[in-house]
Structures are given as structure tokens and as C-alpha cells.
Chains A and B, each alone.
Chain A
């Protein structure tokens, strides 16, 4: 029974760790000009998550400065400037 409980705890804690998904962060490129950079690479993220992160970061809206994509790897990046 002890062994079963231990296994259950390990499985549950492992699942909890696995289910704690991590998004790709927003990075400040120029704090004075409010220029930010984020990526939405891979299968779990897409252009919609890049746009959502930009909208969450900039309360007054944002301007897209550069949108880059490399098909060979599913790379997507968004450089944007928060409006004042």
C-alpha cells in the first residue's frame, strides 16, 4: 500500500509538473522607446499568441515593427512598440 501511494504521488506530481505549460516570454529591447520582442515558435504557440502577448503587454495598443518567420523550424518572432 505504501508503495502504491508513493507511486501515485510521484505520478501526480509528475503530471502536475508536465501540465504546467510555459509560454515564450516578452523581452524588452529598448525600455525608453517601449520596444518589445517576443517569439511564438513551435507547435503549441502561433501568431495569435504573439499578438495576445503584445496586447497584454501594451495597455494602449502597439505597433508592429517587425514580424519574422522561418518555415524551416516553425520560428516566429514579433518586434513591437507600445503606444504611449
Chain B
């Protein structure tokens, strides 16, 4: 073993290299190496929400389908890359579950980077947000279904929710300018300015509540009309990777801050000034001898629940407190099948000035099995139970069983 690597794995590796490309389809093109990669997935979901009839659907999971073209080159002593992706969903877009739907599509990525290992990398364009990105990347439902199977076949959604809103806030796909340091013995950091969003409220995503909603007491929050005004959102993350004997791990912390300009009370459209929403998180994942354990926690003010700035402002425009997190345990069986169980919760507290809104909490339990049928095809089976408890309202439980598969190339 003087050469420093095992002969048998190397022999297998040489064979594999000779027989197939491993990640995507690489094409040399002048100065560039282009790569075409993607994901195709579909799941059968059976969902039962308390008080509603059961619903079965076939469609994409937490990921849409993906077709991505990327390129890498070295120019003027800089590493330069780009990614452009289109993301078709698997569901009808009629919103009614009727025939002749063409399916919805997202466009999640279009960015380029330049940099060097000596000083880091600059990213410009649209990609996954920085805050809470590791929360979703370590969620075992990322390539499964998680929550959201209910009735989604008749909606214009492209994906299910996975663990979003059941342990973390969605990192989302954002226009951004980001700088990431080089890897320094496992440490790295990212700072970014990202597109600022408007705040929205539960009952009317586009702004003021209707008169009918006001009459029903459903105008329970505030929204904004000028995003961050003259300021973008600010995001950052630090992380540390380690490997000690049989243990491998990843620890991270990230944060988000955005000014919310021109806040308007939902019921009256009266002005409520401006404020700044803040949130921070911390997480860790450790793997030893086939066992994996992940823990995550976030705490914020004004950021809301499920997606960023969703219902984070009270009926007088004040910030509501949010927190939540999840724990997840996985184990890889001798068949190479990964099994896992996760528990997560997301809470949104009422502000002292809230009258109608009393707070809400989502609790999620997921049990899943993920089997590598081939090196590029995974079969997935999941059970997900999501309980939503809005204070003062009846508890709602949604149970989803999903079976399907995902192919990546």
C-alpha cells in the first residue's frame, strides 16, 4: 500500500471511469467544460387531513424535475463557472384538477461565479438563499415528499413542502451577490446581499384584506408595500466540516436581516411605518458508522413562518416572535438503504398587540426509507404526519404516505 490508496477500490474506480460518466454529461467545448445534469422524480401520495376526505395524487416531491446546464473554465487566473436551470413540476396547472393541464415550472437557478482557491469565490445571480440553506440540505425529505401531498395534484404547485414549516423556514431561490471564503481547514464563511421581499399575511398574500375577510375577523396581520426600500436583505453563514476517525460532521450557523418598508395594517390599510426582521439559526449533523444525527434550531423576530416574511407582523405592524427546529436520526442498512425518523416544529407567537391572532404551531413527524436501486436511481417510501395548532382553533392533522423514486444524472 505504498502508493497510498487501496488497489481494489482503485481497480473498480478505473473500470467505472472507463464505462460511464458519473455526474451529468460532460462536454468539452472550447475553453469550457459543459455539464448537463438534472433530476427526474415522481411520487404516489395518499393524504388524509382531519375533517376532509382522503386524496391521492401522483407528482413531484420536494424537488421539482430539474434540467441544469453548467460550465466551468479557467480564465485570467480565475475559476469561472455558470449554472442555468429550469425546473418543471409534475402537477397540472389548472388549479382544478381537470384535464389538459400543462404543468407549472420554476426557474430556480441562473448564476455565475468567479474566484480562486487563494481568496474565495464571488457568486452573482439566482440561487438558493444563504440563511437556512443547510437546514433544508440536511432534511432527509429533500429528495422525498414530506408534507404537502394534500390535494396538490389539483393545484399549480411544482413541489410538496418536505420539512418546510415543520422545523425550518424555506431558504428560497433568491437573486444575490455572495462572497464565500476559501475552505480554511474545514472552516468557511459566506456573506451575501439578497433580494428584499415584501411582508405578507396569512389571509391575503397580495396586500389588504377584503371587506368580507375583515368582517370575518380574518385580517390578522400586516403586510408591506415597498420591500426593503433602499436596502437589500443581508444574509451570512459560517460552517465547519470535520472528520475524526470514524466520525464525520458539519456544524453551521447563519443569519438574515431585512428592513421592511411601508408596512400597512391589513384590516384598515393604515400605515404602520417600518421595521427590521431578523433571524439566526444553528445546526449540526454527525455521522458515525452508518448512524447519522442532525439537530437544528432557529429564532427570529418579524420573519414569520414557513417562508420568509410570511405572517411575521402583527395586526398593528409589530414583529411577532418565531422559533423552531428539528432533530433527525438516520441509519444505513447493509442493503445500502437509508432509513430515518425526524421530528420538527415551527412556532409563530402572537404579539401583545394582536387581538384576533393567538399564535400557531406546526409539528411534523417523518419516517422514511431511501434505497439506492442503482447509482443514479433512488426509491423512496415515506410517512409524514403534520399537526397544525392555531391557538383557539381546532387542531388539524395531515397524514401523508408516499411511494416513488428519483433519478439524478
Contacts and interface: CB of A to CB of B under 8 A. Distances in A.
A41 B250 contact: no
B3 A34 contact: yes
A71 B370 CA distance: 18
B38 A23 contact: no
B6 A69 contact: no
A37 B335 contact: no
A31 B335 CA distance: 31
B336 A84 contact: no
Contact of A58 (B4, B68, B332): B4
Contacts of B375: 22-25
Interface in B372-398: 372-376, 378-380
Given A22-B374, A23-B375, A84-B3, A43 B68 contact: no
Given A72-B109, A73-B63, A75-B37, A42 B378 contact: yes
B66 interface: yes
A56 B9 contact: yes
Interface stretch (B88-96, B135-143, B200-208, B308-316): B135-143
B408 A36 contact: no
Interface string A45-82: 11111011101111110001001011111110100001
Q: Which bracket fits the contact residues of A?
A: 35 or more
Contacts of A67: 183, 241
B243 A72 contact: no
Contacts of B292: 46, 48
B23 interface: yes
A43 B87 contact: no
B319 interface: no
A42 B408 contact: yes
A8 interface: no
A71 B137 contact: yes
A56 B406 CA distance: 27
Contacts of B70: 70
Given A18-B371, A20-B335, A41 B248 contact: no
Given A22-B373, A34-B5, A72 B408 contact: no
A75 B13 CA distance: 19
Interface residues of B, number: 62
Given A47-B248, A67-B183, A73-B39, A21 B4 contact: no
Nearest to A20: B335
Contact of A73 (B22, B37, B127): B37
B16 interface: yes
Given A28-B14, A43-B406, A18 B380 contact: no
A25 B22 contact: yes
Contacts of A10: none
B85 interface: yes
B22 A37 contact: yes
Given A18-B373, A48-B292, A59-B4, A73 B38 contact: yes
A52 to B, nearest CB: 8
Given A22-B336, A22-B372, A74 B136 contact: no
B29 interface: no
A22 B66 CA distance: 23
Given A60-B4, A72-B66, 4 more contacts: A21-B372, A22-B336, A44-B332, A56-B6
Q: Which are the 10 A-B pairs with shortest beta-carbon distances?
A: A21-B336, A48-B287, A43-B143, A43-B370, A25-B16, A44-B372, A82-B5, A71-B128, A26-B13, A73-B39
18 contacts: A24-B376, A28-B14, A43-B370, A45-B338, A46-B292, A48-B287, A51-B243, A53-B9, A60-B4, A64-B183, A70-B83, A72-B63, A72-B173, A73-B38, A73-B63, A74-B143, A83-B4, A84-B4
Interface of B: 1-6, 9-10, 12-14, 16-17, 22-23, 37-39, 63, 66, 68, 70, 83, 85, 87, 108-109, 127-128, 133, 136-137, 140, 142-144, 171, 173, 183, 241, 243, 248, 250, 287, 292, 332, 335-338, 370-376, 378-380, 406, 408
